[in-house]
Each structure stands twice: as structure tokens, then as C-alpha cells.
Amino acid sequence: AAGGLVALSFAGCGLVAPGPVDTVGEVDFETPLAIPPLAESHVDAEGTRVFALEAQAGTTEFAPGVASETWGFDGGYLGPTLVADRGERVRVDLTNSLDEATTVHWHGMHLPAAMDGGPHQMIAPGGSFAPEWIVDQPAATLWYHPHPHGETESHVAKGLAGMFLLHDDAERSLGLPEEYGVDDIPVIVQDAGFSAEGVREDTQRGYAGGLGDELLVNGTRGPYLDISTELVRLRLLNASPARTYAFAWSDGRPVELIGTDGGLLEASVALDQVRLSPGERAEVLLRVAPGERVVLQSRMTAEIAGLEPVVASMNGGVDAFDVLEVRAGDELAPAASVPARLATIEDFDPAEVVTTRTFELGDSFEINGEAMDMDRIDETVTVDTLERWVVENSNAVPHSFHVHDVQFRIATIDGAAPPPELAGWKDTIFAEPETSYELLMRFDDYADPSTPYMYHCHLLWHEDQGMMGQFAVVEPGQRATMSEGPHHEH
């Protein structure tokens, strides 16, 4: 039945399914891993930490001496890493030097809808926008990327993405590795297609969206990472438009997972692999011996993807990639011991749920039977209340589900408690076919009846096709009203 449905969908879209990919053993790790620079900032007279980012067109040499046309923030590809502490007021002075409008969305951040950088906060070519908010959430690995309605996949795939790391006192007191670029390493994974000469090309398209047959980490092809410490923290971000990964170590050692989208887990979990769909993050620890080499791979199977093999092969499943070779030096700085308890995550009390909503991920890129309409508020949420969102993927193909503004908890998956790796703070989930997810989330702060937040499938092509809806957070009894007129375009 699954095969038939998918064939139908493909006929409708005129797509050809890309074949499975296997690059294991074929990647020469010849290029040092690029580490995105830390974004510079200053604290102004009012105590606001001020960053600046410029979206620009440029070129990138994915192969030495061979230029590809790309986009980046403050450079040719990707963007600098922003770092802030819980409690800080931050502002980012954004400039758009591209010749088309874009936005910058702060994925995973709790902030006012008018600062969120969704499709209502477009920045015209030559324009600027200066979102400002107070960081008020646990230490986490967040990221930023454009969100122009209908163009998100192309803007992200051209290179507009970066990390936004949050720290807090509780996390700092754990003694986790936190020396950026030394033992605290951003790992931004994207798939891409290249010509024989090494020029970046359009990817093949499957039902999930664009699927490249090679990987880039932080924009580096065939990367290796020299390590000088016994213990390393890797912040994995799947910034690919469509492909889902199952990250594992080449020698079969367990993946030591310490954090998910919105912060640290209560305790680390040892896993065979960490599955990340587009937009999801994982913090993992790696312990190395002097001189050791180990390769981060992605080894996706239909079973890990929760898919029928035929579906998996069309969605970036059933494939194997070499991702990144880690090379430990001959002398390593000793690691502090990591406490067993990493965080305290208070459970939401289901008895406090005020509203339950259902989101059916249907065929034809609709949610609850409707495609995204920029002028329609789909859901109105009362501020400071707990809600239960039931996400049902009734398709034979996978989707994902991302909610702006909040970090949520997965209460159940098909009625059962989530596995430990999905029990912490999440803002994006991979939605397996014919599976139901019950999410609990609190919509604290920032009531604004006239500016919506988004929820959507984070397979970026699906999102662009309209698999997205809008919710407004309002004061009790208030009605949502869309604002008219220009949105920050100047």
C-alpha cells in the first residue's frame, strides 16, 4: 500500500526517486574541518549584547581553486556562531545585501513573534531589521536560517544558516567542554551535489525534497578534525533541506547523547545511533585516546527511519555516509569528569492542559486539510497556558513537525512513552508514517494578537509547498487579528 501511495504522489509531482547513496570508505578526509567564526558582539550602554549579520552573495571553493556561487552571512557560505547567556538582552542588526528579500529566523528561540524572523518579517533587498529580545531558556544548541514563504529551501541550500549557542549557569557548572572550536565543536551537516570538477550543482529531487549525494560539514567536503583533548562535545545540526541522518561511530562505540534541540538531557544516553531529521540538533560527547582516529558516519536503514524500504529510499533513508574523521593528537588534555546528572527537567502535568489541538499531516502538503495562507491565523493560543498538540502523520511518507517560540516535550508516541533520547526538550520531531505524537508545550510570555508564529513540516520543500500553519498567542479572551500593511520592509 505504501509503495502505491508514494508512486501516486510521485506521478503528481513529476519527481524521480534518487537512489540510495553509500560513501562509506570512499571519502578521503583531506580537508581540515572549517569552524564557523564566533560572531563579534558588544554590549551597549543599555546592557544589550549587539550582534550584526549581513546576508550576502559570494563564492565558495568546495574543491581547491573551483568556485561555486553561494550565499552566506558575513561571508560566502553559512554564518558565524552567535553565543549568548541566559538572561542577556540581545539584538541582531540584520542587513540584506542579496538582490532578493529574505528573513532570519531564530530556530528554537523563545521570543516575541515580531522578532521571530518568520515569513512576516521579510527584509527587502538593501533593507535591514534589528530584532531584539531577552534570552530566557536553558543552555542549548539553536540555529538561524531564512524563512521566506516558498523560498526557504533554496535560501538555506545556498548557504544561509548558522548556529546560536546559549549557555546558562547550571550548564557551565557541569564542567562540560565549552572551548569553542577546541573541545566544543559545531557540526553543521548538509547534503549537496557536485559536478566532477567540484562545482556545486542542483541536487536530485525526491518526495522529501532536494537530496544531495555528498555531505558537507560546516561547508567542508571530506573534513577531518584534529582534537587536543580527551573529551569533546560535538553539536550536531541537521541543516539539510530534506535528508534525515542516523549518526553513529565507525568503530561501533555508542553515541553518548547529552542534549537535544532545547537543552541538556537529565542524564546522558548511550545509543547505537542518533537520528536527526532536518532542523533537529543533538549534543554528543566523544572520548578519545591519544592518536586515535574515528569516523562519524550516518548509517540509515529503513528500520531506523521507521519506513518501508521503498519509501525510505525516496526520502534519504537506506544510505550510508562518511561524515567527519576525528583525529586525536598524541598528547591530549585530560578531561574533567562529567556529572551523571546534567539537568533537571520538570515534567508538565497533563492535568493542567487547557487546550488540546490535533494537527493531521496529510497528503498534498497540507496540515488539517489546508495549505499555508499568510493571511489566515489557524490557531489562537492563550498566553501562559499548557497545551497538548497531537500530531498525526496519516501519510505513508515521513514528515516532520516544528513549532516556533516554544520547546516542547513528547508525552507519547502512538500512546507509549518516548525513548530517553526523545524525552528532553524538543522543537522539531521526525514524524514517521502512520504515527501519532502527543506533545505538551507551554506558551509563556509575548501575547501579540496581530503577529503569528509558525508551525510546519521542516522538510523545507514541504514547508515551501505550504505544509505550514500560523498561530497567535493572545491574552485571555483576546481575538487574533492579522496586522495589515508592510512588515519591516524598508
Record the cell numbers describing residue 320, joined without a space. 550510508
The residue among 107 and 442 lying less far from ligand C2O, judged by its C-beta, is 107
The residue among 388 and 402 lying less far from ligand C2O, judged by its C-beta, is 402
Start-to-end CA distance of the chain, whole Å, equals 51
Long-range contacts made by residues 360-366, C-beta under 8 angstroms, separation at least 24? 360/392, 360/394, 361/391, 361/392, 361/393, 361/394, 361/395, 361/399, 361/401, 361/431, 361/457, 361/467, 362/394, 362/395, 363/5, 363/9, 363/395, 365/457, 365/462, 365/465, 365/466, 365/467, 366/466, 366/467
How many residues lie near ligand C2O (CB under 6 A)? 10
The residue among 315 and 451 lying less far from Cu ion, judged by its C-beta, is 315
| Cβ-based neighbour number of residue 249 at 10 Å | 18
The residue among 229 and 407 lying less far from ligand C2O, judged by its C-beta, is 407
36 is an interface residue for ligand C2O by CB under 6 A: no
CA-based nearest residue to 220, from 189, 248, 197: 189
**333 Cβ neighbours under 8 A, 6+ residues apart:** 183, 228, 229, 230
Min. distance of Cβ 2 from Cu ion in angstroms? 15
Which x/- pattern over 366-405 shows residues binding ligand C2O (rule: CB under 6 A)?
A: ------------------------------------x-x-
**28 Cβ neighbours under 8 A, 6+ residues apart:** 222
Stretch that binds ligand C2O, among 74-82, 217-225, 309-317, 454-462 (CB under 6 A): 454-462
Decide if 409 contacts 440 (C-beta within 8 A). Answer: yes
The residue among 399 and 458 lying less far from ligand C2O, judged by its C-beta, is 458
Record the cell numbers describing residue 194, joined without a space. 557536485
147 is an interface residue for ligand C2O by CB under 6 A: yes
Chain position whose Cβ is nearest to ligand C2O:
107
Give the footprint of Cu ion on this chain (CB under 5 A).
399, 457, 459, 462
The residue among 107 and 462 lying less far from Cu ion, judged by its C-beta, is 462
Q: Which does 274 bind (CB under 5 to 8 A by kind): ligand C2O, Cu ion, none?
A: none
The residue among 275 and 402 lying less far from ligand C2O, judged by its C-beta, is 402
Rounded Cα distance between 41 and 53, Å, is 10
What radius of gyration do the chain's Cα atoms show? Answer: 21
The residue among 321 and 401 lying less far from ligand C2O, judged by its C-beta, is 401
Decide if 446 contacts 114 (C-beta within 8 A). Answer: no
457-476 residues near ligand C2O, rule: CB under 6 A = 458
Rounded Cα distance between 292 and 273, Å, is 20
Q: Which amino acid is at 414?
A: D
Stretch that binds ligand C2O, among 187-195, 223-231, 393-401, 451-459 (CB under 6 A): 451-459
Q: Which does 457 bind (CB under 5 to 8 A by kind): ligand C2O, Cu ion, none?
A: Cu ion
Q: Which does 299 bind (CB under 5 to 8 A by kind): ligand C2O, Cu ion, none?
A: none
Among 49, 91, 107, 462, binds ligand C2O (CB under 6 A): 107
Min. distance of Cβ 105 from ligand C2O in angstroms? 5
- H-run or E-run covering 9: helix 2-13
316 is an interface residue for ligand C2O by CB under 6 A: no
Rounded Cα distance between 242 and 251, Å, is 27
Q: Which does 402 bind (CB under 5 to 8 A by kind): Cu ion, ligand C2O, none?
A: ligand C2O
Among 259, 279, 398, 433, binds ligand C2O (CB under 6 A): 279
Min. distance of Cβ 452 from ligand C2O in angstroms? 12
Cα of 114 vs its chain's centroid, Å:
21
The binding site for ligand C2O (CB under 6 A) comprises 105, 107, 145, 147, 279, 402, 404, 454, 456, 458
